[in-house]
Amino acid sequence: MAARFSVTFLLACVALCNLQVYHVSGDLDQAKREPESFTEPNEVPVDEKLEKPSNEPPIVTDSKPIEEAQDDRQWQATEEEAMAKPEPGDDTAPPPPFKDEFKEELVIRPLQSGDVYASFQFSTLWDTDFVQGKRVSHYHLFPKSLGQVISKFSIRELHISFTQGFWRTMQWGQPFLPSPPGAELWVWFQDTVTDVDGAWKELTNVLSGIFCASLNFIDSTNTVQPTASFKPLGLGNVTDSRFLRYAMLPREIVCTENLTPWKKLLPCGSKAGLAVLLKSEKLFHSSFHSEAVHIRPVCQDAECKEPSWELRQTLNVVFDVYTSGQGKKEWSLFKMFSRTLTEACPLSSSSKVYVDVTDNPEGELFDLLPVSPLLDQAVVLGDRRTYVVYDLTNRDTFGSTRSLNLLVRWKADGGEMMRPLLHSERYVAGFGLQTGEIHTLIYNYHPYRAYPVLLMETVPWYLRLYIHTLTVTSKSKENKPSYIHYQPSKDRLRPHLLEMLVQLPPNSVTEVTVQFERALLKWTEYTPDPNHGFYVGSSVISALVPSMVAMDTNNTQERPLFSSFFPCKEESSYFARVYTEPLLVNLPTPDFSMPYNVICLTCTVVAVGYGSFYNLLTRTFQVEEPSPGLAKRLANVIRRWRGVPEL
């Protein structure tokens, strides 16, 4: 899209220089006419009066040179008297009620490291079906732009995330919704789609327009079809990975231009409700920032006959209040977001703020103000947590000041964070620019339970994996994966995809290593800053981690949004996904001014060789009399002067 526009624009610029352009002069208001009186009431409408052209800059909708530039937007009154009145309809019947619902939620978890983790969740549920039946074209709370994308590309599920910074699992625990650094996009298409690759290509371009991101860099060289790691999270149990596309852009920089379109998708925008806190100058002044959009079909009710579509927008942010607050761990909503809450979004059916107080049952660690009588317990990520709840739809929450500013005063240091059961690291080893080795370490901190994990690695084609060097070791013994899916790369076409199911012994480290060779790129394939290195996306570890407490498997029950994203099938374990660090690998990089130097040098060499060859061929050689010596010449000069014959 952007490419096409720039093409258009450039062509137009060029053409404008060469072509004669007819311009509409601004004296249109002379075209005012006296309104004519029509003889019949049923006349064809409208009698227009032109406005004076305003000084507004032109809104050029079409930059083709041959069209007149519409240099002013004129507003014209639409007169009603002469309007063709359609027969009035049945006005007694009220329009059907909207079948959609909006919920918003903010979870704040004070972390032991002094950071504060805030997670926003906005969910729009719409009882409609984009798939069957006629076109969906009338939107209420669900954003029109995304709805059109779903229907046009026949999407079953769409998950997109933009993340700045790296989630530090060992310091911060598990996030509610994990995401890798950079951009991640995975989409399940309906099984009616015939040209999945074409749809995927077009979809990434459309999404990059919607979210103002460089998703258009997704092409076949970074797209994979994982067979096991990414299952649909919503309704429908498809396993045919032909309809799944997964891509990651670890280099993507996330900033305000991505946040603004994300906020625009909310029904209340950033005008009311929890979204007033989303001010970019504070959100991006943080250690970790991640925004995501998830679209999936879910059950409408417990019977689950009809689907409804869920749009889940999440935003996770970790504030480093310790360093930004001059060494104090105190935090408040105002300090973190430079805003306080004054109202719920009037369109939301539920609007709540949760503060995690599990570590502070008696108030010995910190004081939370204002005090709320509401407490809630939720089982999330295999742990039972206690939350203080502030219901924004209740006016009493805001108190006499009519604004809610949560405040935490720490009384004591301490408290132990529960160590996450699953953790992983990744790095590149080796030296030189020819070969290297990727090490992936997966930690199982569970004291006595072994459990299997799915590891997925996508490596770009320019790192040529030697798959025979793949080793998996746990506790210095070989650990044979029970399932391996490996798809070798094709140069400039597709990346490596390695998926395997590994059993992690209790309290152990499992190391996966594989060697690779660095390929030489063509000189146009290098990025603008090739010496920075090339990114390799995070590997993904998906696991059913044994739970400390019984998980809640009743998915239809009303639960807080943050604990209901991943469907839970059994009581004894919960689903967790961990992303490793992305890798930065140096490739052999040439000197890019070299082509010109080489051309000049070879040309000169050729020219010199040619010159001597030419001379040899064309010159005639003859013996020349040796010229007389200096003394003789001098003598001759003197003799000439004297008039004596020369020597």
Partner 1 sequence: MDLEKQRGRHAALAIAAVVVIVGIPLWWRTTETYRAWLPMSQIRELDSLRLCLTVEVEVVFAQGTLTSDQQKKLPLNQVREQEHNVDTETDLKYRYETKYRTATIMEEDALNQPSAAEADTSLHILSESACGSVVVYVLPESSTLLPEGVRVYVGLKRTALVKFELRAGEGLNEVLSAIDAEVEPVVQTMSFGHQDIIAALSNRIRLAKVSKESLVDSMRAFKSSPGYEITFSLLNPSPQSHKVQWDIEGAVQQYIQPLLDKMAAVSNFSVDSQILYYAVLGVNPRFDKTALAYTLSADSLAHVINPVEARLGSNAASSNPVLNFLLYVPDPQHSPLFIRDHRGQGVSSNAFHSPRWGGIMVYNVNDMYDKDTSFPVDLNIDMSKVMGVFLAQLRLLLGVQQVHPPKGFELQGPGSAGVADWELDRLLWSRSVENVATASATITSLSQLLDEIGNIVINDNIAQEVLSTVTSIQAAIAELEAGNLAFALQYSREAILASECAFFDPSLLHLLYFPDDQKFAIYIPLFLPMCVPILLSLLKIVSEVRQKRAEKRAKKE
- Residues numbered 604-623 forming contacts with partner 1, rule: CB under 8 A: 604, 606-608, 610-611, 614-615, 617-622
**Which residue, 380, 382, 389, 482, is CA-closest to 108?**
389
Which of the ranges 11-19, 165-173, 175-183, 630-638 carries the binding residues for partner 1, by CB under 8 A? 11-19
| 476 forms part of the interface with partner 1 (CB under 8 A) | no
Whose Cβ is closer to partner 1: residue 80's or residue 416's?
Answer: 80
CA distance 71 to 75: 13
Angle at 629 between CA 624 and CA 632, to 5 degrees: 120
CA distance 384 to 550: 9
| 89 forms part of the interface with partner 1 (CB under 8 A) | yes
Task: Name residues contacting partner 1, limited to 347-406 (CB under 8 A).
Answer: 347
Whose Cβ is closer to partner 1: residue 377's or residue 604's?
Answer: 604
**Residues 272, 318, 576, 585: which binds partner 1 (CB under 8 A)?**
272
**Residues 96, 432, 626, 643: which binds partner 1 (CB under 8 A)?**
96
Quote the least distance from Cβ 76 to partner 1, whole Å.
Answer: 6
Alpha-carbon dihedral sign for residues 564, 568, 573, 577: negative
Task: Name residues contacting partner 1, limited to 145-184 (CB under 8 A).
Answer: 145, 148-149, 151-153
Q: Which residues of 310-331 are buried (b: 16+ CB within 10 A; e: fewer)?
A: bbbbbbbbbbbbbebbeeebeb
CA distance 499 to 525: 28
Which of the ranges 31-39, 174-182, 183-191, 290-298 carries the binding residues for partner 1, by CB under 8 A? 31-39
Which of the ranges 3-11, 114-122, 162-170, 422-430 carries the binding residues for partner 1, by CB under 8 A? 3-11
Cβ–Cβ < 8 Å for 147, 335: no
Residue type present at position 424: S
**Residues 34, 37, 87, 476: which binds partner 1 (CB under 8 A)?**
87
Task: Name residues contacting partner 1, limited to 106-145 (CB under 8 A).
Answer: 135, 137-141, 143-145
Determine how many CB atoms are found less than 10 A away from the CB of residue 107.
24
**Residues 37, 86, 448, 629: which binds partner 1 (CB under 8 A)?**
86
CA distance 84 to 77: 16
**Residues 185, 268, 404, 463: which binds partner 1 (CB under 8 A)?**
268
- Per DSSP, 41 falls in state T
Secondary element (H or E) of residue 370 = none
Quote the least distance from Cβ 18 to partner 1, whole Å.
Answer: 6
CA distance 567 to 6: 44
Quote the least distance from Cβ 39 to partner 1, whole Å.
Answer: 7
| 593 forms part of the interface with partner 1 (CB under 8 A) | no
| 81 forms part of the interface with partner 1 (CB under 8 A) | yes
Determine the size of the site formed for partner 1 (CB under 8 A).
110
| Pair of tokens at residue 287 | 């250690």
E-strand spans in 190-222?
none
Quote the least distance from Cβ 520 to partner 1, whole Å.
Answer: 24
Whose Cβ is closer to partner 1: residue 127's or residue 320's?
Answer: 127
Which of the ranges 73-81, 191-199, 304-312, 576-584 carries the binding residues for partner 1, by CB under 8 A? 73-81
CA distance 375 to 354: 9
Task: Name residues contacting partner 1, limited to 185-214 (CB under 8 A).
Answer: 206, 209-210
| 598 forms part of the interface with partner 1 (CB under 8 A) | no
CA distance 48 to 45: 10
What is the contact mask toward partner 1 in residues 504 to 533, using x (rule: CB under 8 A)? ------------------------------
Cβ–Cβ < 8 Å for 229, 540: yes
At 152, is the secondary structure helix, strand, or coil?
A: helix
